[in-house]
Amino acid sequence: MSEESASDAAQAEKKEEKSNPLLGMLDKTFESVRKFLADQKLLKFTDELTYMFMRKGIDMLKSTFIPMQIDGIENVPDFKPAIICSIVEQPVELFLAAAITPRKVHFMVPPKMFEMPGLKPLLEAIGAYKSTTSQDDMEPVQRTMEFLNENKDLVAMIPIDNGDREKLDKSISAILKFAAGIPCPLVPFASTSLKKYKLGKAIKIKIAEPIDVNPKIKRDQRHEMASQLVDTLLAMKAELETKDDESTQAPQQA
C-alpha cells in the first residue's frame, strides 16, 4: 500500500470513529481479540466455528421465519471448486449464496463493506475478503487462487447492481476471467429481492447449470459472454419476481 493510500485509510478510520464512536471501539476490541486468537493459533478454528454458527442460523431461519424455495440445488458441486455468481441489489443479499450449499463459501465483497463500522470483524470471521481496489492490488487474486486451487472451496463473486449496466458487464467479465484462469465452473443463481420481502413469505432462489469457461477464451469473447450472462441473470431474477408477485396477488383475487 502506498503512503497516500495508507493516509487515506487512516483518515477514513478516524472519520468513522468520530461518527460512530461505539462501533469504532467495538471494531478495535474485536481486532484485539482476533490478534490474540491468532497469537494462540486459534483464529482459524474460531473463524470456522463462526461460519458454522452462521450456517446453522440460516438453516434455522429457512425452517421457521424465512422459508426459502431453492430450485436447482443439485447444480452446486458437492466437492469440486467453483465460483458462485449472481447480481444483487443490496449488500445483505450477497450472503444468500451461503443458503444454497452446506459447503464453506468464501465471499469476495466490495471494499466499502469493510469500512462499515461493526461489520469488518464479522466479515473477516466468516472468511470474506475485499475485492480488488486497483490493477496493482493482487491480494484478492492470490486469496481467490488459494481458495479455489489449493483448498478446492467455493468462492462467491457477486456484483451489486447500482443501475450501471457497463459496470455490471465489466464485473462479470472479470469473474469469467477468474473462472477461465483457474479453471473452474461458474454457478449462476438469482433470487427475489429482499427489498420487498415480508416476514413469512418465501425467498425464491433459482440456480442455473454450471458454466465452463474455455481457459483460452479471448478478451472480446469473454466480454460478449459476460454481457450474455448479465442478461441471463437479470432475466432469471425478473422471472422469480414475476412469479413472486403472482403468488402474492392470487389469494387476493380468489
Report, as an integer, the average pLDDT of 36-55. 77
Rounded to an integer, what distance in angstroms lies between the CA atom of residue 241 and that of residue 106?
Answer: 27
Which residues, at least 6 apart from 31, have a Cβ–Cβ distance to it below 8 Å? Answer: 121
- pLDDT of 67-83, one tens digit each? 889 999 999 999 899 99
Calculate the alpha carbon distances from 127 to 107, 137, 236 in Å: 7, 19, 28
Report, as an integer, the average pLDDT of 81-97. 90
Give the strands of the sheet with 68-71, arranged side by side: 68-71, 203-207, 186-191, 82-85, 154-157, 105-109, 129-130
The pLDDT score that the predictor gives to residue 10 is 47
Report, as an integer, the average pLDDT of 188-192. 93
Report, as an integer, the average pLDDT of 29-34. 68
* pLDDT-derived band at 183, boundaries 50, 70, 90: very high
Residue ranges covered by each domain of the chain? 3-253
Q: Which fold has domain 3-253?
A: Glycerol-3-phosphate (1)-acyltransferase (3.40.1130)
Pick the residue with more confidence: 26 or 12?
26
Rounded to an integer, what distance in angstroms lies between the CA atom of residue 138 and that of residue 177?
Answer: 14
Rounded to an integer, what distance in angstroms lies between the CA atom of residue 174 and that of residue 125?
Answer: 26
The pLDDT score that the predictor gives to residue 34 is 65
The pLDDT score that the predictor gives to residue 23 is 60
The pLDDT score that the predictor gives to residue 208 is 95
Residue/partner pairs of 19-22 with CB below 8 Å, 24 or more apart: 19/117, 20/117, 20/118
pTM (2 decimals)?
A: 0.80
- pLDDT of 102-159, one tens digit each? 888 999 888 888 877 777 777 888 878 888 777 778 888 898 898 998 889 999 999 9
Mean pLDDT value across the chain: 82
